[in-house]
Structure 1
Amino acid sequence: MNLADFMNENFSNLELKVPLFYNWEIGIRFELGVNYDRENNRENSPYLQGVYHRSINLFESLHPQDDEIFMVANVNNYGDGATFNRKLQIFSRYVQEKSILKQLKHVTLPYVYPEDDEDGKYKTHRFILKCKTSDIKYIPLLKAICNNDTGIKPSIHHDVFFINIKNKTVFHVYDDRGCDLVATSSETIKGMYDKYNDWILDYDRNKIDQVFN
């Protein structure tokens, strides 16, 4: 099954773009960054170590090593002539077995935020890799995603989505502040809701509680 078929069958009205949580009825928004300290925003700071800890634990709880997943990256081109490398570092740097990069798919889409593209010049390049969780160096990858707004390298500023084919979930870390998890069934992610309840973003807690209670 390819990504388009999977999404049409399971998430027919959901676009792979930010914010997942507000665009799907079954989901959880977790807080990653707690007690932010602007003066102590270093890689080994307690703040960032806490961000990494939460993102890695959530990812591992959702994606057993042998599960098949889609790893999807949206790379936006703003019509300024900027070029990109088809074998993005997102994939070449963070994939264990380089041979599976032959399976990397690329599609060009209309810009996923059309409301911000009055002239229709922007495009979104979507890169899709179907693989197993064990194929990905997900710990350094997640750290790079969390580093997006911190000024710490390496960092990834593209949106990267992890889609579990078996459990029918979509997981997205948007930056050091938090991450979204959506699913086709509340039962699928009830364990995440229970186990990591203390990490749920309080701002959205009432909405999330209604889904599971």
Structure 2
Amino acid sequence: MKVTLPEFLKEHFNDLKLEPPLFYSSPYGIRFEIAIPWMEHEDKRNLRQIEERSTGIFSQVFHAGDDVLLITDIHCQKNDRFLQNRPAKVYQKI
């Protein structure tokens, strides 16, 4: 039986609404600083740090057989189709 997202959220997350500020709307959450704060975001050392920390956290929290629901909050203009469609392409790589 396939469960819809609203049904899943109602059953497991007390009917949580997927709207900003999502992190602060849920009683559950873990927040990590994955970047080097004083370094430019595009700097290769920072990007390497971001990749290492995010994959390290992910591999410690989840196991191979786990189901994972990824929610992405993207802030962009309504007509910015590139940013609106990009997460699907990123997730396909992973």
The aligned amino acid for 1:59 is: F
Q: Secondary structure at the match of 1:27?
A: coil
TM-score (normalised: structure 1):
0.33
Pairwise CA distance, 1:77: 7.9
| Cα distance in 2, alignment partners of residues 83 and 22 from structure 1 | 26
Aligned to 2:32: 30
The answer to whether residue 88 in structure 2 is matched with residue 91 in structure 1 is yes
CA RMSD for the aligned pairs? 3.2
Given that 2:6 and 2:15 are in contact with CA atoms closer than 8 Å, whether structure 1 keeps it comes out as: no
Q: Per residue, is there more helix in 1 or in 2?
A: 2
| Cα distance in 2, alignment partners of residues 49 and 3 from structure 1 | 33
TM-score (normalised: structure 2):
0.63
Name the CA shift for 1:48/1:36 in 2 (closer, same or farther; >3 Å): farther
Pairwise CA distance, 1:74: 5.3
Aligned to 1:12: 14
Q: Which runs of 5+ in 2 are unaligned?
A: none
Alignment of 1:29-108 (within 5 A): 29-38=31-40, 41-42=42-43, 44-45=44-45, 47-73=46-72, 82=79, 84=81, 88-92=85-89, 94-95=91-92
Q: Per residue, is there more strand in 1 or in 2?
A: 1
Pairwise CA distance, 1:83: 7.1
Q: Which runs of 5+ in 1 are unaligned?
A: 96-136, 139-213
| Cα distance in 2, alignment partners of residues 53 and 61 from structure 1 | 12
1:24-69 Cα offsets, whole Å, 9 max, x none, are 223222111234224x842x22x33222211111122233232223
Alignment of 1:116-131 (within 5 A): none
Give the number of the structure with larger relative contact order, counting CA–CA contacts within 8 Å between residues 6 or more apart.
Answer: 1
- Aligned positions, number: 90
Name the CA shift for 1:52/1:83 in 2 (closer, same or farther; >3 Å): closer
Name the CA shift for 1:61/1:92 in 2 (closer, same or farther; >3 Å): same
Aligned to 1:121: none
Please identify the structure whose Cα radius of gyration is greater: 1
1:192-213 Cα offsets, whole Å, 9 max, x none, are xxxxxxxxxxxxxxxxxxxxxx
Q: Secondary structure at the match of 1:17?
A: coil
Pairwise CA distance, 1:5: 0.7
| Cα distance in 2, alignment partners of residues 77 and 34 from structure 1 | 24
Q: Secondary structure at the match of 2:69?
A: strand
Q: Secondary structure at the match of 2:87?
A: helix
